[in-house]
Structure 1
Amino acid sequence: MDRPRHSKLHRCGQLIWNLCIVFVVYGIIFEVIVVSRTGSFNPFSKPVASSNAPTIPEGSLSGGVNYRLRPTTLVKNINDAYAGPRRHVDTLANYGKLLEACRGSATGLEKMRFVYDCLEYLSKKEDDYLFLPSDSPASKSDPSYPAVDTAAPASQTNIGQCPGPVQLFHTYWTGPSTWRVELFIKAYLYTQNLPCSRLWIWLDSDTNPTAVADMMQDKGFARFLPLVERGDITLKAWNFPTRIPLPKGTVASDPLYSQILANRALKSAGSTEEKKIEDLGDGVIIHPDGSEWIEFSERQMTFLPVAVSDAVRFIVLHLNGGVYLDMDIMLLRDMRPLLLTPDHNFAERWAVHSHPGDFNTAVLSLNANSSLSSYLVRGGVRMGLNFHPMIVGRMAWKDGRVEELAMFETGLFDPIWGEFNWGREGRCTVPCFKDYGQAFLGTREAVREEWQSFDGPQLEEEEAKAGVTELKKRDAAPASAAEKIVKGEDGSYGGREYRLEEDKYPPTNRTLENFFRGAWSYHIHNQWAKHPQPNSWFSVAQNAHDGFLSGERTNLYGEKWGGPEIMSYDRWREFD
Structure 2
Amino acid sequence: MASSVYFSRGNGSVGNGLPSYTSSSAIREKRHRHSHTASWLTPISLPIPGVRTRRLRLMAPNITRLHQSSVTRFGRRRGPFLLCASVLAFFYFIFAVYKRFGMGDNSWPTSLSFPDPSTLVYRREDLQRIWEWEVAAGHYPSARRIPEQVGLSIPPPNPALSPRRSVSLPSRFRGPIATDTVGVGPKRVYLDLHSHPPNVAYPPRPVPGSVADMDVIMDHCDFSTGKYVRDCLEILRLGGGLDMGARVRRGKMDDWKYIYMEENASQNDSDIASFLKPAFGLKTQGDLDPSNDLPKKRGAQWEPHVRLPAPPKYVSYKDSPTVCDEENPRIYHMFWTGPFTDKPYLALLSFLFTQNLGLQFDADRPDPLICRPQFWLWINPGPAAAVPNPSAVRDMFDQLKSNPWASPFLHPRFKDVIQFKMWNTTEQLDGVPELKDEWRALRDSLFNSGGYVEKIPQKAEAEPEETELEQEVEEDEGVAAAAPSPTKATKDDDDKINRVGSKSPSSYDRLSVILSDMARFVLCHRFGGIYLDADTILLRDWEELWGWHGAFAYRWSRLEKYNTAVLRMNKNSALGSFLFRTALKNGLDFHPMSISKYTKDAYLEGLLLRLPDALFDSAWLNTEQYQRDRPPQPYFTEFADFFETPVQSSGSPHALGFDGFFKGAYSYHFHNFWWRPFDPSRDFPDLGPRFIAGERIARASLAEGSTTKLPDPQEETVADDKRDLDWATVIKRTFESYIRGERPNMYGEWLKW
TM normalised by structure 2 equals 0.45
* 8 Å contact kept, 1:227–1:233: no
Please list, as runs of the form range in 1=range in 2, the aligned pairs for 1:441-460 lying within 5 A after superposition: 441=644, 446-448=647-649
Alignment partners' CA distance in 2, 1:539 and 1:225? 24
Matched, 1:234 2:397: no
Alignment partners' CA distance in 1, 2:515 and 2:639? 24
Q: CA RMSD in A?
A: 2.8
**Paired residue secondary structure (1:406):** strand
Q: CA deviation at 1:316?
A: 0.6
Alignment partners' CA distance in 2, 1:94 and 1:421? 29
**Paired residue secondary structure (1:333):** coil
Alignment partners' CA distance in 2, 1:369 and 1:408? 22
Deviations 1:116-162 (A, max 9, x none): 1111111123370112212257554443549xxxxxxxxxxxxxxx9
Q: Which position in structure 2 is the counterpart of 1:509?
A: 655
Q: Specify which of 397, 401, 423 is matched with residue 217 of structure 1.
A: 401
Matched, 1:387 2:516: no
Alignment partners' CA distance in 2, 1:379 and 1:99? 28
Q: Which position in structure 2 is the counterpart of 1:178?
A: 341
Alignment partners' CA distance in 1, 2:600 and 2:332? 27
Q: Which position in structure 1 is the counterpart of 2:321?
A: 143
Q: Which position in structure 1 is the counterpart of 2:353?
A: 190
State the AA in 1 paired with 2:376.
W
Q: Which position in structure 2 is the counterpart of 1:301?
A: 443
Deviations 1:377-431 (A, max 9, x none): 2222222011001111111101111111111111100001001111225411111
Deviations 1:50-75 (A, max 9, x none): xxxxxxxxxxxxxxxxxxxxxxxxxx
Deviates more, 1:162-171 or 1:324-333: 162-171
Please list, as runs of the form range in 1=range in 2, the aligned pairs for 1:374-523 lying within 5 A after superposition: 374-424=577-627, 426-441=629-644, 446-448=647-649, 508-523=654-669
State the AA in 2 paired with 1:446.
V
Could you say if the C-alpha distance between residues 164 and 369 of structure 1 is closer, same or farther in structure 2, counting changes exceeding 3 Å?
Answer: closer
Alignment partners' CA distance in 1, 2:231 and 2:439? 50
**Pairs aligned (count):** 359
Q: CA deviation at 1:214?
A: 4.4
Q: Specify which of 190, 193, 201 is matched with residue 377 of structure 2.
A: 201
Q: Which position in structure 2 is the counterpart of 1:243?
A: 430
Q: Which position in structure 2 is the counterpart of 1:132?
A: 261
Listed as ranges, the gaps of 5+ residues in structure 2 are 1-198, 241-255, 266-314, 359-371, 448-510, 680-721
* 8 Å contact kept, 2:354–2:540: yes
Q: Which position in structure 1 is the counterpart of 2:206?
A: 87
Q: Which position in structure 2 is the counterpart of 1:98?
A: 217
Matched, 1:537 2:656: no
Q: CA deviation at 1:373?
A: 1.4
Matched, 1:317 2:524: yes
**Paired residue secondary structure (1:194):** coil
Matched, 1:120 2:234: yes
State the AA in 2 paired with 1:224.
F
Could you say if the C-alpha distance between residues 296 and 82 of structure 1 is closer, same or farther in structure 2, counting changes exceeding 3 Å?
Answer: farther
Q: CA deviation at 1:234?
A: 1.4
* 8 Å contact kept, 1:81–1:555: no
* 8 Å contact kept, 2:329–2:528: no
**Paired residue secondary structure (2:576):** helix
Q: Which position in structure 2 is the counterpart of 1:351?
A: 557
Q: Which position in structure 2 is the counterpart of 1:474?
A: none
* 8 Å contact kept, 2:232–2:614: yes
Deviations 1:432-485 (A, max 9, x none): 11111112126xx5354886xxxxxxxxxxxxxxxxxxxxxxxxxxxxxxxxxx
Deviations 1:21-57 (A, max 9, x none): xxxxxxxxxxxxxxxxxxxxxxxxxxxxxxxxxxxxx
Alignment partners' CA distance in 2, 1:447 and 1:295? 58
* 8 Å contact kept, 1:324–1:365: yes
Alignment partners' CA distance in 1, 2:726 and 2:379? 30
* 8 Å contact kept, 1:81–1:558: no
Deviations 1:261-292 (A, max 9, x none): xxxxxxxxxxxxxxxxxxxxxxx6xxxxxxxx
**Paired residue secondary structure (1:349):** strand
Q: CA deviation at 1:181?
A: 1.3
TM normalised by structure 1 equals 0.58
From the CA coordinates, give the structure whose radius of gyration is larger. 2
Alignment partners' CA distance in 2, 1:228 and 1:96? 39
**Paired residue secondary structure (1:508):** helix
Q: Which position in structure 2 is the counterpart of 1:335?
A: 542
Identity %: 28
Matched, 1:360 2:567: no
Q: CA deviation at 1:551?
A: 2.0
Q: Which position in structure 1 is the counterpart of 2:115?
A: none
**Paired residue secondary structure (1:511):** helix
**Paired residue secondary structure (1:186):** helix
Please list, as runs of the form range in 1=range in 2, the aligned pairs for 1:58-69 lying within 5 A after superposition: none
Alignment partners' CA distance in 2, 1:531 and 1:232? 26
Higher relative contact order (CA 8 A, sep 6+): 1
Please list, as runs of the form range in 1=range in 2, the aligned pairs for 1:275-286 lying within 5 A after superposition: none
Alignment partners' CA distance in 2, 1:229 and 1:123? 29
Q: CA deviation at 1:227?
A: 5.0
Alignment partners' CA distance in 1, 2:326 and 2:734? 28
Alignment partners' CA distance in 2, 1:400 and 1:294? 26
* 8 Å contact kept, 1:102–1:409: yes
Alignment partners' CA distance in 2, 1:214 and 1:536? 34
State the AA in 2 paired with 1:431.
P
State the AA in 2 paired with 1:543.
R
Could you say if the C-alpha distance between residues 342 and 508 of structure 1 is closer, same or farther in structure 2, counting changes exceeding 3 Å?
Answer: closer
Could you say if the C-alpha distance between residues 165 and 548 of structure 1 is closer, same or farther in structure 2, counting changes exceeding 3 Å?
Answer: farther
Q: CA deviation at 1:560?
A: 1.2
Alignment partners' CA distance in 1, 2:732 and 2:601? 44
* 8 Å contact kept, 2:439–2:584: no
* 8 Å contact kept, 1:431–1:450: no
Alignment partners' CA distance in 1, 2:633 and 2:546? 26
* 8 Å contact kept, 1:510–1:537: no
* 8 Å contact kept, 1:169–1:322: yes
Q: CA deviation at 1:347?
A: 0.4
Alignment partners' CA distance in 2, 1:554 and 1:138? 32
Q: Specify which of 70, 94, 110 is matched with residue 225 of structure 2.
A: 110
* 8 Å contact kept, 1:244–1:295: no
Alignment partners' CA distance in 1, 2:738 and 2:326? 24
Alignment partners' CA distance in 2, 1:412 and 1:555? 21
Alignment partners' CA distance in 2, 1:426 and 1:232? 42
**Paired residue secondary structure (1:117):** helix
Q: CA deviation at 1:553?
A: 0.8
Deviations 1:297-327 (A, max 9, x none): 5442343224000000011101111100000
